[in-house]
Amino acid sequence: MISRLFRGRRSSKPSPPRPDLAPDACEGWRQADVFAYLRVIAIGDDGAVREDVAPQGVVVISQSCDVALQNRLDVQVAPVVTLEGEVADQARVGRRPRYAHLPNLGVDKFADLDRITTIAKQQLVSLPRQPAVSRDEEVRRFAGSVSRKFGRYAFPDEVAEILDPLRDFLVSRAPKETSHVGQVFKDIAELRVESSNGWQAVPYEIVLIVVVEPGTLPTFADDEPPDKVPAPFLRRIFNQDGSVKAALGEIAQELLRGDLKAEERYWLWEALGMAAARKCEDEIAKRGHEAVVASVTHEIASADEFPLSRVRKTEILDLDHLSMPRPR
């Protein structure tokens, strides 16, 4: 559940600051600083300007260099919100680009990056200020969340639609630590999408890349993975033609076994990638998108071996805003 961002109640305004206070007062400000109270001017869905209250304050979104400069009189802020349950779990690990975690405020506090607005620095100088991030890793993560929010790739509509079944499955299963998928999902650093023939012309040949945390995949002599599926898996996980028949949940359960051999772990990760791609590929015919999406295949890669050149060619698959929200 997401707490209400703006409530109808009003409390007294702080005393307006003197105009000559703003330049000097902002010298120590940084991105991710939180101001405990502010009456925010926001743009409504109808385009009209309205005044709302952010009961938990606002967090600075602008880059630190812009925030501290005396000749920059405005700053961008977003409301601080409280998230609960699965949405909070997903947002903390970066799978909900709408939200950026504010660890100094608590495990359930986030910046709502869908509600960013520009205000004058003078509105902030008389308010209490608290840094929401401290450690270098937290600073980088927050800055990365803001950057990712604005740099997220907009998939073609047909591609977004065929990815939706996988997204919906992960949204419902991945955050639950009691689910097999949720436990295995902790070993997945990112899901990335590539069109192997580019995005300029259809039909797209989609590759779903499962990037796992370092050390997750087994290693083999001469870096040569096994070329044959272990016999027991031919009955439970794979068809005789090499295609996968098990569902994602069943494969995840197998991956959690403690007695797996290296080759078994390798093929189970392959099976998981195949099952994820199949969930998307099944949607191509269902939606009649054959002319736009030719195929969906998979790839399993370790994060410490995934080159920057591939990062630049691929797009991250977020759980948030993959496609238009469904009616509730």
Radius of gyration of the chain (CA): 23
pLDDT at 48: 57
CATH number at residue 133: 2.30.30.110
pLDDT at 133: 95
Q: Are residues 126 and 184 in the same domain?
A: no
Least confident segment among 24-33, 145-154, 244-253, 274-283: 145-154
Identify the burial level of 153 via C-beta atoms within 10 angstroms of its C-beta, where 0-12 means exposed, 13-18 middle and 19 or more buried: exposed
Residue 272 lies in a domain: yes
pLDDT at 177: 63
Q: Are residues 169 and 139 in the same domain?
A: no
Domain of residue 223 covers 157-316
Q: Are strands 38-43 and 49-54 parallel, antiparallel or unpaired?
A: antiparallel
Give dist(CA 126, CA 14) in Å, integer.
7
Res. 277: pLDDT tops 60: yes
Q: Tokens in use for 132?
A: 């929401």
Residue 3 lies in a domain: no
Q: Are residues 180 and 278 in the same domain?
A: yes
State percent of the chain over pLDDT 70.
84
Tell me the one-letter amino acid at 110. F
Q: Are residues 231 and 99 in the same domain?
A: no
Q: Are residues 100 and 204 in the same domain?
A: no
Higher pLDDT, 36 or 288: 288
Residue 2 lies in a domain: no
Higher pLDDT, 223 or 112: 112
Q: Are residues 134 and 206 in the same domain?
A: no
Q: Are residues 307 and 171 in the same domain?
A: yes
Residue 55 lies in a domain: yes
Higher pLDDT, 53 or 290: 290
Q: Are residues 123 and 251 in the same domain?
A: no
**Residue in the structure block whose two tokens are 């069943």:** 250
Q: What's the pLDDT tens digit per position in 31-78? A: 999 998 776 655 555 555 556 667 888 999 998 888 888 778 888 999
Q: What region, left, alpha or beta, does residue 85 occupy, with left being phi > 0 and alpha being psi -120 to 50 degrees?
A: left
Give dist(CA 169, CA 179) in Å, integer.
12
Residue count of the chain, please give it.
328
Q: Are residues 122 and 176 in the same domain?
A: no
Identify the burial level of 195 via C-beta atoms within 10 angstroms of its C-beta, where 0-12 means exposed, 13-18 middle and 19 or more buried: buried
Give dist(CA 104, CA 107) in Å, integer.
8
Tell me the one-letter amino acid at 77. V
Res. 305: pLDDT tops 90: yes
Q: Are strands 293-302 and 204-212 parallel, antiparallel or unpaired?
A: parallel
- Sign (positive/negative) of CA torsion 219, 225, 274, 152? positive
Q: What's the pLDDT tens digit per position in 165-193? A: 998 888 777 656 678 888 898 899 889 99
Residue 322 lies in a domain: no
Q: What is the mean pLDDT of residues 194-216?
A: 94
Domains: count for the chain:
2
State percent of the chain over pLDDT 90.
47
Which residue, 151, 183, 204, sits at the end of a domain? Answer: 151
Which residue, 151, 168, 193, sits at the end of a domain? Answer: 151
Give dist(CA 3, CA 56) in Å, integer.
10
Q: Are residues 206 and 141 in the same domain?
A: no
Residue 246 lies in a domain: yes
Res. 113: pLDDT tops 70: yes
Give dist(CA 195, CA 293) in Å, integer.
10
Residue 327 lies in a domain: no
Residue 133 lies in a domain: yes
Q: Are residues 298 and 169 in the same domain?
A: yes
Which residue, 128, 151, 174, sits at the end of a domain? Answer: 151
pLDDT at 255: 94
Q: Are residues 193 and 144 in the same domain?
A: no
